[in-house]
Amino acid sequence: MSIPLTRFPVLVQEKILDFMDFYDLYSFSETSKRSRSLSKRSAKRHEGHMKVSLHRCLKLKYKSSSHPNCNLKINLEDKGSTFENLEKYLSIRHSSLFVNVTISLKICHWLFDFDFTLITFDHLAQLGYPLKKCYVEGFKNNEAIVRALITFRKAERVDMSIEPTTDFEKFDFVTPFTESLENESLQILYPDWVSPWHVNNVFNKCREVTLSDRMFSFAESDVIEILKSWRTESSIRTLILTFDLAGSIEDFGAKMVEMKAKPVQEAASSMEMKRQRRWGYVSSAWLLKQINTGAEVLVTVGNYPHEGTRKDLHMKEEFELEPENR
Amino acid sequence: MSSTEQGTSSAAPAEPTTAPESAAAPEVPESFYYVHGKDKVVHKVSAGALQHSALIHGMISNLGYTEEQAKANPFPFENIDGDILQMVVDWCNQHKGKPTPPEDTNLPKQKEKLFDLVLAVNYLEIKELLTYCCKQVAMMVKGKSPEEIREIWMIPTDAEDEAAEKEAKKRAGKEAAGETAAAAGDAK
């Protein structure tokens, strides 16, 4: 049975489209230019997420977050597509349809024109597409690290997996960062190039910062510098890194007490922590209070006996203490 | 005009009931109005049922017709087919004084009439029924491909849209030229 939709008054057409889920609305928008234009209004009622993958070819997958079936997806681009299609689909052809869209991005800096990628995403951010998750990987490139971090400074989550070059110390990792990053979560897999200055002045507006590398450790003095600066001002509430203990844990504790941190005992509240302790993981903990906000975090320093002076540092906002510390 | 009372209306007009003396408040007799569509068949509908239609409710709210006056002046809806008007009247009667449920299972079953029904309901401003009808139209294309949607909803292609637009412009141009010529003729 057919029904001539376009012969309904426009308000009725809009009401009908308002009852459609995003996937049907998208299919309808593909029927003609006029349909696409008509879909714009109703599309604003939906929210979704776009997965952009730039590995050998461009893949775009859209998922409507308001649809009850979480397995439905729109595959916008297929194998063999070029990066130019991203602009075509998002900023030109469908920008009006994919309105409340967050984007996750997976890119390799050597496979695509990296400059063009960054310019496009800068443009998309200006168009109002919030970037949700950016996973950036690549092979030893200092400039790519800096440029990608700056471009994705407002993305909700950034996973930076590009390694710096072996002579990264000759590269200027300071001057290009003229403003702080604002990621909810920032993970740097190869943080060799990261200094306390970066944590205190560039990552200071991030919420969770993970600087994890099994091959790299910060110096104890770096950690003290970071924590001292944090006390004064920082939005970081979770910080994970590894460092080399310069002396004994008691000496480190004395430096923490100097910062007015209170030594406490963390409760093994999770299964993971209980398992760690069974395997001999030993940790010390301090409560550290931020002067300007009064925010309190738990700083734990610990390791397994075989790890020697190499210690894991965890700063966390949510924690549980042993009863005697409460 | 020949008038036939149908549906609820086919029953004898309700006689005002006399309130029992013991009743605390006297019952106000329900008032009825009359409507007819393209087929001139007159339907008798209670004011309560007609409240669903914002258009008719607006028309009758200040009339203060007596039963005789209402009968003598049925509302004409010449743009609505008789059978469609019958469906609408039936729906209004079924939902008289009741809160409308989120899903309506009493919708007319004749899908081929859906297009006319939507137009009528939109014209009569029956909000809830329009909502149900629009949902039903939207459900027609659930899970369908663009090509299937084009077929079901009779969507013109871009080329057809462009041709129609050109045609409309041409017609508008001709009409404007005709009006200018007529105005010039009048001036002479």
For residue B37, give the CATH number of its domain: 3.30.710.10
On whether both B177 and B138 belong to a single domain, the answer is: no
On whether both B54 and B118 belong to a single domain, the answer is: yes
On whether both B109 and B90 belong to a single domain, the answer is: yes
On whether both B125 and B187 belong to a single domain, the answer is: no
On whether both B109 and B175 belong to a single domain, the answer is: no
pLDDT at B2 over 50: no
On whether both B184 and B106 belong to a single domain, the answer is: no
Minimum-distance CB partner of A9 among B122, B135, B139: B122
Compute the distance between CA of residue A74 and CA of residue A22 in angstroms, rounded to an integer. 10
Q: What is the pLDDT of residues B50-90, one digit of tens each?
A: 888 888 888 777 776 777 777 788 888 889 999 999 989 98
On whether both B50 and B107 belong to a single domain, the answer is: yes
Q: Is A11 a domain residue?
A: no
Q: What is the pLDDT of residues B107-151, one digit of tens each?
A: 656 667 889 999 999 999 999 899 999 999 999 999 999 999 999
Q: Is B165 an 8 Å CB contact of chain A?
A: no
Tokens describing residue B20: 């029992």
Minimum-distance CB partner of A3 among B146, B153, B157: B153
Q: Is B174 a domain residue?
A: yes
Distance of residue B134 Cα from the nearest chain A Cα, in angstroms: 5
Q: Is B102 an 8 Å CB contact of chain A?
A: no
Within 13 A of A103's CA, how many CA atoms are on the CB side?
29
Q: Is B21 a domain residue?
A: no
Q: Do B122 and A8 touch (CB under 8 A)?
A: yes
* Structural domains of chain B, count: 2
Compute the distance between CA of residue A23 and CA of residue A19 in angstroms, rounded to an integer. 12
In terms of Cα–Cα distance, which of A249, A189, A260, A255 is closest to A225?
A255
**A160 - beta bridge partners?**
A136, A188
* Structural domains of chain A, count: 1
Q: Is B15 a domain residue?
A: no
On whether both B131 and B56 belong to a single domain, the answer is: yes
Minimum-distance CB partner of A31 among B111, B138, B150: B150
Residues of A in contact with B109 (CB under 8 A): none
Q: Do B138 and A1 touch (CB under 8 A)?
A: no
- Residue A195 is predicted with a pLDDT of 96
Q: Is B19 a domain residue?
A: no
In terms of Cα–Cα distance, which of A279, A275, A286 is closest to A319?
A286
Which one of A64-68, A118-122, A239-243 scores highest in mean pLDDT?
A: A239-243
Q: Is B14 a domain residue?
A: no
Q: Do B143 and A17 touch (CB under 8 A)?
A: no
Tokens describing residue B47: 């004011």
Q: Is A167 a domain residue?
A: no
Q: Is A1 a domain residue?
A: no
Q: Give B153's contacts (C-beta < 8 A, 6+ positions apart).
A: A2, A3, A4, A5, A6, A28, A31, B140, B141
Q: Is A322 a domain residue?
A: yes
Q: Is A275 a domain residue?
A: yes
Q: List the single residue in B with minimal CA-CA distance to A3.
A: B153
Q: Is B114 an 8 Å CB contact of chain A?
A: yes
Q: Do B156 and A30 touch (CB under 8 A)?
A: no
Q: Is B76 a domain residue?
A: yes
Q: What is the pLDDT of residues A18-36, one digit of tens each?
A: 999 888 888 898 899 899 8
Q: Do B115 and A9 touch (CB under 8 A)?
A: no
Pairing of strands B75-76, B32-36: parallel
On whether both B46 and B134 belong to a single domain, the answer is: yes
On whether both B163 and B100 belong to a single domain, the answer is: no
| Distances A191 to A168, A202, A220, A224, A243 between C-alpha atoms, Å | 11, 14, 15, 17, 12
Q: List the single residue in A with minimal CA-CA distance to B111.
A: A1
Residue B126: give the domain boundaries: 1-9+29-154
Q: Is B98 an 8 Å CB contact of chain A?
A: no
> Most B CBs within 10 Å: which of A10, A30, A33, A34, as the mutation test of the B interface?
A34
Q: Do B130 and A15 touch (CB under 8 A)?
A: yes
Q: Is B168 a domain residue?
A: yes
Q: If you ran DSSP here, which 8-state letter would residue A21 be given?
A: -
Compute the distance between CA of residue B132 and CA of residue B139 in angstroms, rounded to an integer. 11
Q: Is B22 a domain residue?
A: no
The ipTM of this complex is 0.77
Q: Is A261 a domain residue?
A: yes
Interface of chain A toward chain B, CB-CB under 8 angstroms: 1-9, 11-12, 15-20, 23-24, 27-28, 30-35
pLDDT at A322 over 70: yes
Residue A283: give the domain boundaries: 246-326
On whether both B66 and B77 belong to a single domain, the answer is: yes
Q: Is B140 an 8 Å CB contact of chain A?
A: yes
Minimum-distance CB partner of B154 among A4, A9, A23: A4
Q: List the single residue in B with minimal CA-CA distance to A2.
A: B152
Q: What is the pLDDT of residues A252-291, one digit of tens each?
A: 999 999 999 999 999 888 888 889 888 999 899 999 999 9
Compute the distance between CA of residue A228 and CA of residue A315 in angstroms, rounded to an integer. 13
On whether both B140 and B162 belong to a single domain, the answer is: no
